[in-house]
Structure 1
Amino acid sequence: MPKAGDVAIFKVKDIGKHNRIQSTNGNNKYILPGDLIMGAFGNRYATEQMEGYVPDTYHNSYHILGQGGAIGILKSIHTKFELVGPTTLSLIGYLVHENGEVINTKYLNDEITTYKSIPLNTDPKVILSLGTSMDSGKTTSAAFLARGLKLAKKKPAYIKLTGTVYTKDKNMVSDYGATISLDFSHFGFPSTYMCSTHELLDLYQNLIDYVKPYNPDYIIVEIADGLLQRETYALIHHKNFMNKVSGALFSSLDSMSAIAGADMLTELGCNVIGVTGLFTISPLLVDEVKQKSNYHVLTEENLTSKEIIDTLNKKINYLEFENKMAVNS
């Protein structure tokens, strides 16, 4: 029975949605029926793409769930891809260690990276990048923020905590200015869908520990999908996790969800630094948010400007002052 992270060789049977797969160097390679590819079993939750799971029994056919190489059994697919369907594969065999044990990416990375002793910023500010759903602008907002912080002479780091393996997001934020940019796959996760909250918190701590030696001033942590998605919902409702967060950017597709999502975070005690995302390309939607709420709208121009540091300082310092007053009262 396959497990999430198990690595195997598959033969391409029929081409559907995925006609390419990402190779080890990050390039996307076209695949054709009859080709042999290597992938890892993994679950996927993607509202604009596919929902799929690692099966609990062997199957005659498997499906490519993500271009990064996550393989499983499709459960549902977005209507726009129904006619195309998934790319189907047959299992050839597992990759194994010398002792015959199946190689699993989640347990493969036992490397403990050591760094030269350098003065560390022991208290970098953690900024969450959250949103209403897939493709609401979370990664783009994170990249814009990284650019603005770099222009402000600050060192931003980027972590994508949840999602399905694919290097596009971390590469984008790195290009925009992150000192280090990595995601859950660094520790062998083909995806984080259906992980326990305890496992996610352990993963988060390992990712934080990994970036801290780079001495970042800010760590931008992106959590995939929307606030109601299984893992996202669990994390934002976990007090110990949220207590270590300085604030959040909230990305949305429209004005109503921008306000509703930010309200939800505020009710949970989260410091919403600003609302952003795809809705900010529409002046009408921006005006609606400004007129119907007190949330600060952050456009691309705002986030990529070095003045964004003033917004962050104002929002974060005000929260810290409030928390200090609450403790002393």
Structure 2
Amino acid sequence: MTKIYPLTPALCEIAKWAFTTRRVDRGDVQGLSVSFQTAKAGDLMLCEIVEIGQHKKLQLAERRVSLSYPGDLVVVCLGDRYAPDQFLASAIVDDDLIDLVAGGGVAGRIDAAHDFMDDATRLKPLGLLTGPKGNVMNVADYALPPLPANDRVTVIGVFGASMNSGKTTAASSLAHGLMRSGYSVAGVKATGTGAFGDFNSFEDGGAPALDFTDVGMATTFRRPLDQIEQGFDTLVSTAAARGAEVVVVEIADGVFQQETRDILKASRIRDRLDGILFAAPDALSALGGVMTLERLQLSPFAISGMVSCSPLATAEAAEVTGLPILSREDLWSPEAIALHVAPLMRRDHEGVAA
């Protein structure tokens, strides 16, 4: 049974704020609206946790996890989600209860779920946060200022065959290896669902990180390609303005996910990449990924990911793709960076590696 609260902005002061809300100025909250029928992706919403399900913890704006309890108040974002291993969800409030569809703080309506998922954690929407002008607050209101594309910094894209193929480890390991080689590096997560795992992984390796939540998107699923492209331009340019010579950009999910497919087929992002590292879980996925990229006139410089954890799978993948298979330890190595990545550098950054 849900608690009965007086609907006041003061409730937001005692709520747990999710990672997706990390850029929001909490002092802007002036009211709460119950016009849920007009809510859209990215809108900030105060909810009460009613029932604990799949997501038993919430990733907080402070970049730590908080164990969830029935009755907790949380501020999350309404959003779509695409996750073949978890949930397909829509940014819709059409019932008294909604679903927590991602632990980083995305809520909506689950439309489909993987068989291995528990039922979702259920939330009671209490109100949409409104600002000083009475407008519903949205994460887009707190985005970095848009910047034009930067054509001087080197950009390496990390794509994968699927979720859980090892993209994040590959991307953060590459960034770490570049730093060990003497480059100034930044990590960017350009698409996906708001969560701090990828963000923290870059920073754990020493590379300052940015992601799509910095450019006003709680998730990039169902966002227009031009919005994702502008976000990419801003993230890369912001990283360059902060001193990065090389930006490692991770693209979420697999090559058949709609936004990823659009990026690879024809986009400013595709055209801006100086090299591609491809992550795969096994040799067959490595071959399929390479063939898919080659049909789009793209060629990765190497394969990494889960396939590199197995000597047998590594040998198979190397044989069928003809490409180097780089483990995370390989990517940490200045020798591997000099051999495989340094040739991709833009002229301004050649010769940095020791």
**TM-score scaled by length of structure 1:** 0.89
CA distance in 2, matches of 1:236, 1:139: 19
The SS at the match of 2:301 is strand
The reply on whether 1:2 has 2:39 as its aligned counterpart is yes
Change (3 A) 1:144 1:50: same
> What is the Cα deviation at residue 198 of structure 1?
1.0
Match of 1:211 among 239, 249, 268: 239
Residue in structure 2 matched with residue 23 of structure 1 by the alignment = 60
Residue in structure 1 matched with residue 100 of structure 2 by the alignment = 64
Per-residue CA deviations over 1:8-39 (Å, capped at 9, x if unaligned) read: 11111111111111222112111222221111
Match of 2:125 among 62, 82, 91: 91
The reply on whether 1:261 has 2:289 as its aligned counterpart is yes
Residue in structure 2 matched with residue 323 of structure 1 by the alignment = none
CA distance in 1, matches of 2:268, 2:131: 38
Residue in structure 1 matched with residue 134 of structure 2 by the alignment = 100
The SS at the match of 1:243 is helix
CA contact (8 A) 2:143 2:213 kept: no
CA contact (8 A) 1:242 1:270 kept: no
CA distance in 2, matches of 1:33, 1:314: 52
CA distance in 1, matches of 2:108, 2:255: 25
The reply on whether 1:125 has 2:161 as its aligned counterpart is no
> What is the Cα deviation at residue 315 of structure 1?
5.0
CA distance in 1, matches of 2:323, 2:244: 27
CA distance in 1, matches of 2:66, 2:175: 29
The reply on whether 1:171 has 2:207 as its aligned counterpart is no
CA distance in 2, matches of 1:111, 1:146: 25
> What is the Cα deviation at residue 122 of structure 1?
5.9
Change (3 A) 1:75 1:217: same
Superposition RMSD in Å: 2.0
The reply on whether 1:146 has 2:175 as its aligned counterpart is yes
Residue in structure 2 matched with residue 283 of structure 1 by the alignment = 311
Change (3 A) 1:155 1:3: same
The SS at the match of 2:130 is coil
CA distance in 1, matches of 2:214, 2:144: 11
> What is the Cα deviation at residue 112 of structure 1?
7.9
The SS at the match of 1:103 is coil
The SS at the match of 1:52 is strand
> What is the Cα deviation at residue 275 of structure 1?
0.6
CA contact (8 A) 2:160 2:253 kept: yes
Residue in structure 1 matched with residue 16 of structure 2 by the alignment = none
CA distance in 1, matches of 2:215, 2:316: 42
The reply on whether 1:11 has 2:48 as its aligned counterpart is yes
State which drifts further: 265-274 or 146-155. 265-274
CA distance in 2, matches of 1:172, 1:239: 27
1:152 maps to amino acid: S
The reply on whether 1:304 has 2:327 as its aligned counterpart is no
Change (3 A) 1:204 1:234: same
CA distance in 2, matches of 1:286, 1:22: 34
The SS at the match of 2:272 is coil
Residue in structure 2 matched with residue 39 of structure 1 by the alignment = 76
> What is the Cα deviation at residue 265 of structure 1?
1.3
CA distance in 1, matches of 2:175, 2:129: 38
> What is the Cα deviation at residue 311 of structure 1?
2.5
CA distance in 1, matches of 2:144, 2:311: 49
> What is the Cα deviation at residue 214 of structure 1?
2.3
1:78 maps to amino acid: H
CA contact (8 A) 1:10 1:90 kept: yes
CA contact (8 A) 2:146 2:231 kept: no
CA contact (8 A) 1:2 1:58 kept: no
1:258 maps to amino acid: A
CA distance in 1, matches of 2:249, 2:109: 29
Structure 2: gaps (5+ residues): 1-37, 348-354
